[in-house]
Chain A
Amino acid sequence: MNYRTIRTVIYSTLLLLVFLLPASAQQKNSRKVTLNVRNGTMESIIQSIMKQTSVKIVYNQELVQKAARMDFTANNEELKPVIRRLLKGSNLTFVQQDDVMVIGPKDEPEEVKKKTGVIKGQVTDNSGKPLVLVTVSIPGSQSNTITNEAGEFTIDFSEGSSLAFSSVGFIKQTIKVHVNDKVNVQLEPSVSNMDEVVVTGYQTVNKRLSASSTFTLKGSELNQPGVTNVLSMLQGKVPGLSVVNNSGSVNAVPSMRIRGTSTLVGNANPLIVVDGVVRENPNDLNPDNLLGADPNTRDVYLLKDVIESRGTLTGNSISGLNAKDVESITFLKDASATAIYGTRAANGVIVITTKSGKAGKMVIDYGLSLGTALKPGYSMLQLMNSQQRIRFSREMYEDGYLYPSTPFHLGYEGALQDLLSKKITESQFQSDVAGLEKINTDWFGLLFQSPLNMGHHLSFSGGSDKTTYYTSVSYQDNRSAAKEDRLRNFSADASLKTEINRKLNLNFNLSASQRISNGYFSTLNPLDYALKTSRAIPSDLVYKVSAIGTYGSGPPLDYNFLNEIKQTGNSLKNTDLSATLTLNYLAFRGLTLSSTSSGTANTQYSEQYATELSNYIANARGYDYGTVAPGSAAEQASSLPFGGVLIAGNSSSYSYSIRNSATFARSLFSEKDQFSIVAGQEINSLRRESLNNYVPGYLRDRGESISINPNSLAMLDVRKKDALNNSLSMYGIFTYSYDDRYVLNANIRTDASNRFGQFVNQRFLPAWSIAGMWNISSEKWLEGNKTINYLGLKASYGFQGNVITEVGPELILTLPDNGQGVDPRSNEFSLGIRSLPYPGLRWEKTKNMNLSISGTLFNSFLNFEMSYYQKLTTDAIIRKYIPIEYGVQTMLINGGNIKNYGYDMDVNMNLIRSKDFKWSISVRGGKNFNVLQKGTVELTSQIIQDYFSGSVLTEDQPVGTFYVFSFKGLDPKTGVPLFYGVDEGDPASRKSTFIDYLKPVGTTMPKISGGLSTNIGYKAFSMGVSFAFNLGSKRLRNSVYQALGLSNPMPDLNLPVILAERWRKPGDEAFTNIPAYPKDNDPTGSGFIYLPNFSNMSRYDMYNHSDVNVVSGSFLRCTNLNFSYRLGDRVLKRIKLKGATITGAVSNLFVIADKNLRGEDPETMGAGTTALPITKALNLGLSITF
């Protein structure tokens, strides 16, 4: 401790003592001072003054000695003014108490008159781009302003002050200026994710100012070559988003849930917004339920297959979007983020931003991708080969099983029939059977392929300071492993941003796409066929099958799957065009006016056909092609004597929306806070028109002509639809932030629509939210902390209402089921009931709460965000079965209370960040608990299928819980399956039904879903692996036994290998739980059991739906593995390119799932659906920048 320090301590102590002196000791008098010093030190002057007064002057010697030498005169002046004059210009001040005066360092600016004027200047970022809305303030005063569109500002200024520049996302800067200076300031962007913004579609908010729960995915993270739909690439990449890829088709659209399911009859998929504009699906089909909430009878019975197979090609609103044109995707998860979208956003919102140009020389990017999908095969599937299948048939015959009717004449059974009817000899029979055992038709090999897929993407971007542009064109031709499944897509995108003048700027975006999808005709599915068909059938064999389908039953008809595929078709062409224009106008300081107008047009033509040579048409015709004489009775009685059918549909939708908003932003109390309010108004209009035809008498080979026989008129179905949906909305957004530390945020929105027959009191339904955020790391006590770079807390709460649009207080009539407005007999107009009035129905209400914590630690080594959410939906509308006597199957009631709660998590670690070697890992996932709460109307219908399918609602169980029987074992005498409850006690005296013995096993939606990805980069090489997982779901294995008509399986069916281990003789039950086949088909036989209320059910159907067949649906899928190599600068220079990268990727490399699935995919829907398998895909990519 040196001398000076000691002295400072003493003086300070003294100073304290002086302040503590009693107040009663007042100054008695003041002596005058007279002095004349030339070039003296301040200390000497003070000493001189001290000698002339009785006042003791104590001073800080250290400071006083620093003062410059000066001339000083005083002429009989009072002490205080003298001292004041002496200290003026220095940073010293004095205080006098009684006889002691202390001179010490100044802690307040001197109150002196200052020179005033204005300061003008411009603020730019480090690249020289003008910055708008930068707060320019004078520390210590109330005055502040913000910069205009050109980054310029003007502020009143007094000399001696400094200027502070602050803007979100930039480091605050304070500079010394002088009056009338012209200043140019460059602000440095702040580090640690400060450049991240949240695009809500209505606003672009800096992440630090958004209190909402959102997640943003960069376009580059989407890269998953071989996947055609942008949405399918999201699996495992977004916390809180569950994506289920139901099919491996290139045309498939996945089913998605953000934070669980909170509606029971509506569409639970999130809303999709592209560049600020809501994108409507190409048609009004709900992808989760293609037939609609209220299908008519004809659709359900006649056209179900047709509608579903059209649905497989329909795609969604962004099917034409190329992943390479995506800049970022933002997921809005809580009410604070979605309230601005009103009632439509109750299931979350996905906001896609497309790329825009950057100022600079034109950059040309070309991307090429070549790929293939690998054929699926029998290896994993545990299905019988020819030999096993023939052995099975032989054993069934030897065990004395009979067919209920003559089996199809093929396979072992065919040869046996020939033997028994003495058409062939025993030795011929043996050699026939030996031949059959060797056939081993590879159905997968015949129906699947390894296609060559390709994609081209070319983009141009660049611009000047004032105008930037981005243009791209792309072409993709993709097929899945299934031969007929194909998607060709051509798209073009252009965007332009320009600054017309200082106050006005303009954004224009135009995008167009054309898509051609091909798929399978309604009744055909190659996966289903390959799984179910015996391999002892040669592929070219035409065999007889029972008449099936929609036109009743009759004599068996010819069938060959390859012929069916050849004679039928399913295709769809879709054209999209959309344009958006945004204008921003800075009216005056703080007030910006914006207007966004957009229009979209979509047309879709879908066509399915089956020619007269197909089995599908033979079913309608009643006999095989060419087997009856022209003019015969059979021909005259046939409902479709000539030609096939054409199912063609045209639909178009045109929409426009105009949104105007005014944003006012300014500081309210000091330069540290900022307040902004946005008031907006929006109109949306959507017109859909469609014409769907089911035309019999289609002669495809005769110039595609159509000739409708009078017999076929009843099949003709022509339907036109025309609907106009208009809505008008008002919204408001309020944001207040203080010092970037505390942010308060509120949204409100109300909508009105022209919906037909709506409740008048529901025209204006407000949705609102309120949210707050605390940037803890901006607090003084954490500032500069080396461990915690960023730490923030968010909380939000909001309310949204929803009413399903199909119901209202009025009786609504529409055309009758067959779509004919005129009754054909009476020639009178006719109407049917579309919807009965529901006067008492209330809104579905969802209260949504979110808490999040996010942080950046160790200089961005670890970034994390964790959220807890709770969504409470009350009065959810459910469709309840009501007694048939009321004349309708179901009614809608407010009966569901659903609670969704859970966690989302996003952790990413930059493990290594050296110049040459980079390694990062990210884990994203979410857990959702979904439970039906008290007050839910139990849909304990007596319909057992509702329990199997998970459509019953039970309190304390999640939505979608399905039930199964509890398998007890096999009957030791007959080998039929027995069940707990069902096979106990005396069935005759029992009052209960099957339903009492069902037990809940889980849901098909995963509880936990997420993904893990890691990227390693070493110099020019990089490698990435991503995994997706879904955990906690359950599913049933494909059924082994037929539900009805429990017969000895027909010879065309293939069977699981496991059936070889079936019960065959008493004692087998010790080794196997695979039941024996029932000995006969009689309903009274062992296959059926009865209970009161006429419940009857096949034991084998019960077995299919019992706990032995429940397997876990959990899986871990390696969705993508890729390597890439970036060409070095020297090579590039030689070939005159700016950049070049070669990429190799494998999709769906492997999947780890429950081994009890016996090779079935854990994700795709099972047999009997339109699903195609998800197969491994290889891809090679090249990307060149000119």
Chain B
Amino acid sequence: MVVLQVSSCKKFLEEQSQTDIIPRSASALNELLMGAAYTGNNGSGTNPAIRFLDDDATHDHFFFKKGDIYYAYTWQPASTSQSRDAGAVQWSVLYPRILTCNVVLDYAPKVTGTTAEIENVTGQAYLLRAFYYFRLINFYAKPYSDKLSNPNLDLGVPLILSSGLSMEGQPRNTVAEVYKQIIDDLTKGIEQLQRNGKNNNIFRINHVAGSLLASRVYMQMGEWQKAIEAATFVLNNKSDLMDLNTWGTPDANTKAIVDSKNPETLWAFGSALEVVYQGGDDAFLYRLSEDLLNSFEDGDLRTSIYIKNSKSNKSPSYPYTSTIGQSFRVSEALLNRAEAYAQLNKLGQTANAQLALNDLNTLRKKRFTPAAYHDLASTGADDLLKKCYDEKRRELFGEEYHRWFDLRRHGMPSITHVFHENESQVLSYVLKDHDPGYIFQIPKAAMDKNSKLIGNPEPELRIGH
């Protein structure tokens, strides 16, 4: 018996686990990316309330209680909202995904696989890391190109670029440093995926989606020429636009705008729970603002296809029938490029004005009935810019955080939200011009654990009038 045991000893002590895996191949890392770096695979985590920050949302009617959305909607400071402020959640949702990207990047050199397989994995990790830092910097720091900003001094977010853990926290990097890292990651990621990521499905980020993200990043930085190049790269690779004239009967549950099957979609991601509320919460008290609804012209098919009962109809109404929450769409490339041209136009490069109009018109042709469609013309540089802004708002409302990020980029104007305090009383809450409320407070939970984090200026308790 003893001899028998010794001979089988090695096998007896062989590591084995049915549910756990030690990653030794590029494909394991690729599966890890799908499970833990892409958003939305495991619940939302994202605070859906932050969709109600911008001027596209309005409170509709009184209900007996103040739900979670109230705190974001009225831009309440972190200190009084008991962790229901807009910035309370994002920090701890995005950094774990950045960790996964870092893990993949750290392990990629150690695993087996062809160069192509490894580049496919690292390329996605670079692009996702860039995407998450882009969101973080736009939630928690001053806009890059604002007149009152100084990206070389303004505090951004801590850049964590390796998977090693430490008890010591890292201080916030400057906004410029974070943007530099984003650009670096984008460059590497786009390059690697262009070489080796073409066979991925639409649920994985690709070089074209990476370029669209690059155009967003350059827009934030005011690097118009680079934004144009990036958007052009997108359009050169994919220029399909959905034509609302042939879209058929609008039904968000069977044919959603934000959907992997939409011909415009470059990359589908996120969780439906970020967009669609489960029953019983207070999202049903909110709808699209008059301001937005009134901006649509006659004959704009988006009013009937994107909107239903004054609410966004872009995603399925039940989270359970939806598979994704967000998508990168080709339309945005046209809109970004149009604005970038318009910005250059404003800077005096007037040849760009027509280019901007061309892009807007390309999109609008697919959004209006032929009877109502007419080519746009502008009355000046500012008018053209406004047309670009408005078109983007109409096209992309309710998707990602486009409007909020754009409001920050457009000079952080004052906006007002109304709230039905009770059956008879409607109060106005004002986010002032360059209000500290435009920058989320670093969550208390993060500051508690990292003494090197310096908080953002705290707005006053916002009281309705």
Contacts and interface: CB of A to CB of B under 8 A. Distances in A.
B28 interface: yes
Interface in A775-822: 810-818
Contact of B79 (A637, A638, A818, A1094): A1094
B22 A811 contact: yes
A813 B20 contact: yes
B167 A893 contact: yes
Contact of B43 (A297, A685, A814, A1093): A297
Contact of B22 (A553, A810, A942, A1093): A810
Given A754-B13, A941-B448, A942-B449, A829 B31 contact: yes
Interface string B211-228: 000000000000000000
A814 B20 contact: yes
A884 B91 contact: yes
A826 B281 contact: no
Interface string B137-176: 0000000000000000000011010010111111000000
Contact of B319 (A595, A714, A728): A714
A754 B15 CA distance: 5
A823 B16 contact: no
Q: Which of A595, A728, A832, A884 has the most CB of B within 10 A?
A: A884
Contacts, number: 247
Given A813-B23, A833-B103, A553 B280 contact: yes
A885 B13 contact: no
A622 B449 contact: no
Contacts of B444: 1093-1095
A711 B320 contact: yes
B280 A547 contact: yes
Interface string A853-885: 000000000000000000000000000111111
B320 A757 contact: no
Interface string B379-413: 00000000000000000000000000000000000
A639 interface: yes
A887 B15 contact: no
Contact of B32 (A681, A813, A893): A813
A758 interface: yes
B87 to A, nearest CB: 11
A639 B277 CA distance: 11
A1157 B95 CA distance: 45
Interface in B25-63: 28, 31-32, 34-36, 38, 41-43
A704 interface: no
B268 interface: yes
Interface string A33-45: 0000000000000
A637 B321 CA distance: 10
Interface stretch (A14-22, A716-724, A1070-1078, A1166-1174): A716-724
A830 B31 contact: yes
Contacts of A377: none
Contacts of B441: 1094
Nearest to A1097: B82
A555 B63 CA distance: 9
A754 B443 CA distance: 42
Given A756-B15, A816-B35, A1083-B80, A713 B320 contact: yes
B237 interface: no
A712 interface: yes
A355 B23 CA distance: 51
B251 interface: no
A883 B450 CA distance: 5
Contact of B450 (A710, A723, A811, A885): A885
Given A824-B323, A832-B35, A728 B99 contact: no
B258 interface: no
B100 A887 contact: yes
A813 B28 contact: yes
Contacts of B79: 1090, 1094, 1096
B350 interface: no
Interface stretch (B1-9, B182-190, B331-339): B1-9
A883 B281 contact: no
A405 interface: yes
Contacts of B105: none
B99 A882 contact: no
B347 interface: no
B415 interface: no
Interface string A152-164: 0000000000000
A823 B97 CA distance: 16
A833 B31 CA distance: 11
Contacts of A836: 103, 163, 165
Given A813-B22, A832-B32, A754 B16 contact: yes
Nearest to A726: B12
Nearest to A1090: B79
Contacts of B99: 833, 886-888
Given A721-B19, A816-B35, A823-B41, A553 B12 contact: no
Interface in A503-523: none
B21 A712 contact: no
B81 interface: yes
A756 B201 CA distance: 33
Given A406-B64, A884-B95, A888-B99, A1093 B447 contact: yes
A1060 to B, nearest CB: 30
A552 interface: yes
Interface string A591-620: 000010000000000000000000000000
Contacts of A753: 13
Given A554-B281, A826-B203, A882-B167, A755 B15 contact: yes
Contacts of B80: 1083-1084, 1088, 1096
Nearest to B23: A813
B233 interface: no
A885 B446 contact: yes
B271 to A, nearest CB: 10
A831 interface: yes
Nearest to A634: B279
A757 B15 contact: yes
Contacts of A754: 12-16
B95 A887 contact: yes
A554 B280 contact: yes
Interface in A130-157: none
Contact of A884 (B15, B17, B92): B92
Contact of A885 (B43, B169, B319): B169
Interface string A882-923: 111111100101000000000000000000000000000000
A913 B99 CA distance: 73
B17 A831 contact: no
B167 A831 contact: no
B449 A884 contact: yes
A303 to B, nearest CB: 13
A1090 B12 CA distance: 60
A814 B28 CA distance: 10
Contacts of A1096: 79-80, 82
B18 A832 contact: no
Contact of B446 (A758, A828, A834, A883): A883
A749 B445 CA distance: 45
Given A816-B35, A833-B36, A884-B446, A681 B2 contact: yes
Given A721-B18, A882-B449, 6 more contacts: A639-B319, A681-B2, A726-B12, A828-B31, A887-B100, A1094-B455
30 contacts: A298-B42, A547-B280, A553-B67, A555-B280, A595-B1, A621-B279, A681-B2, A681-B5, A683-B5, A710-B320, A722-B18, A722-B19, A723-B19, A756-B15, A756-B16, A758-B15, A812-B21, A813-B21, A814-B19, A815-B35, A824-B323, A831-B32, A831-B34, A884-B95, A884-B449, A886-B160, A887-B98, A942-B448, A943-B445, A1083-B80
Interface of A: 297-298, 405-406, 547, 551-555, 595, 621-622, 634, 636-639, 658, 660, 681, 683, 685, 710-714, 720-724, 726, 728, 752-758, 763, 810-818, 823-826, 828-834, 836, 880-888, 891, 893, 937, 941-943, 1044, 1083-1084, 1088, 1090, 1093-1096
